[in-house]
Chain A
Amino acid sequence: MSFIELTSVYKKYKTGEVTINALDGVSFNIEEGELCMIVGPSGSGKTTVLNILGGIDSCDDGNVRVCGELINNFDKKHLALYRRHDVGFVFQFYNLIPNLTALENVEMSTQVCKNSLDPVKVLERVGLQERLNNFPAQMSGGEQQRVSIARALSKNPKILLCDEPTGALDYNTGKQILKLLQDTIRETGMTAVIITHNTAITPMANRVITMRNGKVHRIAINDNPLSVDRIEW
């Protein structure tokens, strides 16, 4: 049994009289410890998949199994607990609480989590030992995204979900962030799902799922993922 299993997942959005099939029978598996990238053009349904995996959206049909549990059957409370304990989320726009310092943003997350890591250590690991008491507005985008990653990692989650983590960053910073993510996953053995529309970076992943029009177009398994340093785009 795979660590993450999606079986015939459907998701429809209704906007007025128009129905959009965001997910149209999506099925794939991700093994434990894998770094999985989901790629595809805008509107292909990749964010929807991520949202469903992260427990912030629900599917209309099909099964979503994470770590053996069918999260599509979870009620709201269970979903919240699932998000709290099992999922680390890294957002495209970092979504830091502007009113909290870097450390506090991480603390906010660890506060509600059982197996959390020491926020300061996590921040040190993402290279922000100097910025602990800075507010998001006082940090660059890359630094903010590091805080966001630190916030996700500090929960010691089972899966790490990243939604276009480099989408708002320049090339170098983006690269550093990707490196950080790759290193962390390697070190911790965490399962990670990263969404990107940048296919150039897919070689760093163990598994690449390509989506098109709400369907899985292709699943490629890469037994020897490249280090980010060696990828150029």
Chain B
Amino acid sequence: MSKSLIKDTLRAIRNNFSRFVSIMLIVALGAAFFVGIKATPKDMFSTAEEYFSEYNLLDLRVQSVAGLTDSDVEAINGIDGIDYVSGQKFIDALVTVNGSIETDIDGTQISTRAYSISPADIANYLNGVNDGAYINRVELIEGRYPTAVNECLVDASELSTPESYTLGSTITLQAEGGDAPSELSTSQFTIVGIIRSPYYLSFERGNTNIGSGKIGTFIIIPEEAFTTDYYSEIYIKIAGSDSYDPYSQEYLDFVSSYAQKIEAISGRQINKRLTVLKPELENKIAEAEKKIKDKSDSATTAMEELDETIAQLQELVDNGKDIVAAAQAEFNSKFSAAENNLATNTNEYNAAIEKYNQLKKELDTKTAEYNTNYSNYVKSKEAYDTLYSQCTSASSKVDFLNSTITTTNQMIAAGEAVLDGISDSQSDAFNAEQIQTIITMMQTTYPELYAAVQALTTQGLAGEIVVNIKPYLDTQKAKLAQAEKEIKEQKAVLDALKAQLETQGTKLTQATQELANAKKELEAASNQLNSYYTQLQSAGYDIQAGALELEIERLAAQSNLNALIEQVNEAPDNLNKAKTARLEAEAQLTSALALATSELNTAKNLYNNLDSVTWSIYDRTSAPGYESYGQSVKNIEILSNLFPMLFFVVSSMICLTTLTRMVEEDRTVIGTYKALGYENSAIILKYLIYSFLAGFIGSVLGIAIGIFLFPFAINSAYSIMFSLPSLNFEFPWLWAFIGFTISMLCTAFTTLLALRKELRNSPSIIMRPKVPKAGKHILLEKVTFLWKRLNFTAKVTMRNLFRNKLRFNMSIIGITGSCALILASLGMQNSIDAIAEKQYGDNAIAKYDFQLIFDNPQTTDTHTSEFSLAEDDARVEALMLTAMKSMTSFSERSDKVLDVYVLVPENPEELNDYVALKNRQSGENYTLDDTGAIITEKLAKTTKTDVGDTISFEDSDGNVYDVKVSAIAENYTFSFIYMTDNLYKKVTRTSPVYNYAIGRISSSLKANEENLANVKGLLSTDIMKIDGITTIAYTADTTQQISEITDALSTVIIVFFVSALILAIAVLYNISNINVIERQKELATLKVLGFMDNEVSRYIYRENIFISVFGIIYGIILGIIVHYGLITFTAIDAVMYGQTIEWHSYILAVLITISFIVLVNIMLHYKIKKVDMVTSLKSVE
């Protein structure tokens, strides 16, 4: 190469620096995009591979319903080629964090799988040993490993883990029903570390048979916390597995050969296990049966009591009014009679008192009478007494006289007797005794005589006595006579007196009689009065007591009556309460029984199926997220096959035209060199150096930027969904080589081709200007009627367009490609936005605003109090019970399996008020009925299911059910199978468990959007206060979480979008620029002919507009295809993208494309303005 040629080469670069740079940049763009996108999946795979190997991700996993033992571990370890085997325990439990319930993305209480970590593994970590014994090693992101039995490590995933999972928080694990799990010795764990596990690549955590059926998060707790004596699963690490690409078929085949070996020893091991397990299970079953019986017995008694109460209350509710009325009437009648009675009695009493008073008066009269009588009597008595005393004294006188007479007579008689005795009888005969008697007699009557006789007797001289007596006798006789006389007189007086006394006596007797009578009368009256008084008094008491008693009675009756009324009034409430209590009791019983029964059934099932127990052996594809990561990366791979090629095609075409143009421009120079005797190779070298430098620098620059920029951007987008260590940037030798080669082909090779064409000719021809491409009649001219109608400039435009087909096609491809990429990007954004907008926005599919989760299964016919309380809240417009269970669904038409929710609404006819079931295209509304299930579109697409086909779904216990599909409904987030209660029962032979309710907030509250957040907050607080409601979840929050996932893709789309825009500008500008340069002379001629600058520009524009119209039309078509490809290939399970591009995106895409065209044309205008008439006319370029 001569010196001057080198000089010329360098000057060529300097003089055409802008072209040089433009080629370089376009090559860089194409190479960056191509190599970058191609490198992305490789980097992502390699990151995963390294991660798996670094953290010893298991190769195989063995599970058995009968549990696994150390013996199993040893047996598997004995298999040749198996490096490490480790027994693992885990339980699935519901979680509360710091005492409050956390909800999952779908609004259900979050559940967790708690794995054990053995002391050996912890020691392994602490000693920094990584020999592979610690399988599924977790990556500690924050904190430390547990050292105590009540410490745990938690899941770091932002999507699946609640925000409250922070170091120091306390996690409480609960079995279903809220009890502490029986498998654990402690249920409370303090978070000491936050981890990432290679086993969980994505936010998916797998399924379980508790809670909503979906595991929300995982934690790791020390093995000592487990009380179980068997392993839940066994992890296996195979020697040499790391040398395989984990996502290759070779790896799966390799692993599968070991799975077969493990299966071969499983039978023997299972038998060993069964001998231990059988008696254990028998005990367990017996215990469970007893528990169920006890529970059901006690509950039945309680419920019977409740039933009685309910019957009574029901009676009160039904007849309460009548009962109250009757009681009132009875009360009235009873007390009016009694009061009447009391009144009568009082009247009588008053009358009696009057009579008493009268009687008293009478008694007074009688007393007065008596007193008169008494005084009479006293007088009479006095008179009588006087008389009587007179009479007495007279009588005594008589008596005295009589006695004197008697005594005298006696003395006389005695004296005479003595005298007679002495005289008649001998003195001797007179005995002393007789004498003595006489003397004694005398003693009283005749004391003198007695004395005399005494003296005489004492003297013993009887004879003397006689002498003495005789005189005495005589005197006595005289005295007697006297006395007799006197007595006579006296007797007369006495008689008179006696007569008088007798009269008086009669009188007195009369008076006495009268007095006695009066007294008697008085006494009688008094007695009467007294008795009357007593009577009266007692009557008074009676009346008072009666009144009092009546009052007391009345008050008591009144209070009874009031109580009754109150009872009746409260009866409906109480009835409801009683009913609620009954329902609660029933629900509790049901759930308790269900729980116990399910435990029992599990045990029984296990027991019954012990003979058929097998080991389930899983490889990594069963790890949640493993496949979806692979799939996502493969999606990018698919994208990387499509997009960068498009880029490369476009950028290489630009290089091709630009460089061809350059060679053509230099035609005369080339001819001159050739004519001067330069070798072809030397000439070629000049242009080769130029194009090689541009291509080399461009591609190296592009590759260098691309291998970092694109993997980084795309991986960061996906890192929201997948949790992996930071990306490995690997140098993609192959793709870099291909990218470099293609770049070189686009530049150097293109130059060679163009040169070869020129160099074939002789110098003389090359030296002369190239004959302009001949004008040709175009096909359109044959359509004369149309051609004639076109005005002149249109004709020119047409001819110009078809004259240079390469440029025309390239321009169209450029615009088509750009427009398609822009439309696809915008459409993809629509599809992503549609998920949230169409699912939850205005007039959306999910019309419900929130979902409630109940502690216990709900009854459908009569609702529980917690349901009613929530339903009656003024802010709640409507509420409906739903049964929801997470399952997997598939069909025989496709090998794809999708996670679905089987949803049974309480009232199928109302379901449309909560979830719009409609055809996406026709808008036809569907109603759920017993004829078949309604499934959502994503599910239908994935399983290739049409209306009328049968679809299968499998619960977490492995039961598979088939149901006929009656309609396919539009839906964007998650997948659902909607069934009526009847259909569900028919299909699964079990009843749906209504654990959820979906509800709407009243529309007036929703209208005030600013306040809505407040309303929701308050509603949450109030709803959560209701006993029996576990939690409330708003669909808007779900939207937020969904959008986090889809934002990842948005980012990727934005990367594409921006690249597309840059490409669009580059393509359009380059093509237009070449167009102007190539036609400089033509444009100059036009100017000389007097065309204005803008007229000249318009002349070019017209062509551009025509190209643009074509390009945009093709671009829209291609964009739709690319968009379809994107939403098909980049699909993720949880969501269905909006299937259509919104009309405004079409408009926007067209506008963006047009605005770029306009922008480029404006730049072109200045370029046209600059075309110098003088220089361009001088010669042919």
* Residues in A lying within 8 Å of B, measured CB to CB: 47, 51, 54, 56-57, 76-77, 80-85, 87, 89, 91, 93, 95-101, 104, 107-109, 111-113, 135-138, 151, 155, 163
Contact = CB atoms under 8 A, between A and B. Distances in A.
A98 B1089 contact: no
Interface string B800-820: 100100000000000000000
A98 B1083 CA distance: 12
A98 B1085 contact: no
Contacts of A107: 792
B1087 to A, nearest CB: 7
Q: 5 smallest A-B Cβ distances: which pairs?
A: A84-B1090, A137-B774, A135-B775, A83-B1090, A98-B772
Contacts of B1087: 56, 80, 83
Contact of B1091 (A93, A95, A112): A112
A108 B796 contact: yes
Contact of A56 (B1088, B1093, B1180): B1088
Contacts of B796: 97, 99-100, 104, 108
Contact of B1089 (A81, A104, A112): A112
Interface in B1070-1126: 1081-1082, 1084-1093, 1095
Q: B interface, how many residues as a size bin?
A: 20 to 34
21 contacts: A54-B1088, A57-B1174, A77-B1092, A80-B1090, A83-B1089, A83-B1090, A84-B1089, A84-B1090, A91-B1088, A93-B1179, A93-B1180, A95-B1081, A97-B1082, A98-B775, A98-B803, A99-B775, A100-B796, A104-B796, A108-B1086, A112-B1090, A138-B774
Contacts of B329: none
Given A51-B1174, A137-B775, A138-B774, A87 B1180 contact: no
B771 interface: yes
Contacts of B1177: 56, 91, 95, 163
- Most interface-central of A51, A85, A108 (chain B CB within 10 A): A108
B784 to A, nearest CB: 13
A211 to B, nearest CB: 17
Contact of A98 (B774, B795, B1084, B1179): B774
B760 interface: no
A104 B795 contact: yes
B775 A101 contact: yes
Interface string B1155-1181: 000000000000000000110011110
Given A97-B796, A135-B776, 6 more contacts: A56-B1173, A80-B1087, A97-B1086, A98-B1082, A113-B1090, A163-B1177
A11 to B, nearest CB: 11
A213 to B, nearest CB: 20
Contacts of B800: 99
Contacts of B397: none
Contacts of B1091: 80, 84, 112
A98 B773 contact: yes
Contacts of A56: 1087-1088, 1173-1174, 1177
B144 interface: no
- Most interface-central of A80, A99, A100, A163 (chain B CB within 10 A): A99
B560 to A, nearest CB: 114
Contacts of A113: 1090
Contacts of B1173: 51, 56-57
Nearest to B791: A111
A100 B773 CA distance: 11
A99 B1095 contact: no
Contact of B772 (A47, A108, A111, A137): A137
B366 interface: no
Contacts of A93: 1179-1180
Contacts of B1084: 95
B792 A108 contact: yes
A188 to B, nearest CB: 19
Nearest to A151: B1089
B604 interface: no
A87 B1086 CA distance: 13
B779 to A, nearest CB: 15
Contacts of A111: 792-793
Interface string B761-793: 000000000011111100000000000000011
Contact of A87 (B795, B1085, B1090, B1178): B1090
B775 A136 contact: yes
Contacts of A98: 772-775, 803, 1082
Contacts of B1090: 80-85, 87, 109, 112-113, 155
B1095 A112 contact: yes
A205 B763 CA distance: 39
A85 to B, nearest CB: 7
A77 B1087 CA distance: 11
A193 B451 CA distance: 239
Contacts of B1180: 93
Contacts of A77: 1092
B740 to A, nearest CB: 40
Nearest to B1084: A95
A56 B792 CA distance: 25
A149 B775 CA distance: 20
B799 interface: yes
B260 to A, nearest CB: 75
Contacts of A100: 775, 796, 799
Contacts of B1085: 91, 95-97
A218 to B, nearest CB: 26
Contacts of B1092: 77, 80
A101 B1087 CA distance: 19
B514 to A, nearest CB: 174
Nearest to A85: B1090
- Most interface-central of B793, B799, B1088 (chain A CB within 10 A): B1088
Interface string B877-902: 00000000000000000000000000
Contacts of A84: 1089-1091
A171 to B, nearest CB: 20
Nearest to B1089: A109
A64 to B, nearest CB: 15
Contacts of A80: 1087, 1090-1093
Contacts of A76: 1093
Contacts of B803: 98-99
Nearest to A57: B1174
Contacts of B1178: 47
B796 to A, nearest CB: 6
A174 to B, nearest CB: 18
- Most interface-central of A51, A83, A98, A107 (chain B CB within 10 A): A98
Contacts of A136: 772, 774-775
Contact of A89 (B773, B776, B1089): B1089
Nearest to B1178: A47
A99 B294 CA distance: 103
Nearest to B1096: A80
B1089 A108 contact: yes
Given A80-B1091, A99-B799, A151-B1089, A104 B792 contact: yes
A89 B774 contact: no
A135 B772 CA distance: 11
Contacts of A91: 1085, 1088, 1177
A163 B774 CA distance: 24
- Most interface-central of B796, B803, B1180 (chain A CB within 10 A): B796
B771 A137 contact: yes
A37 B118 CA distance: 109
A47 B1093 CA distance: 23
Interface in B730-782: 771-776
B548 to A, nearest CB: 127
A135 B1084 CA distance: 19
Given A57-B1174, A111-B792, A89 B1088 contact: yes
Interface string B703-738: 000000000000000000000000000000000000
A164 B776 CA distance: 28
A98 B1177 CA distance: 15
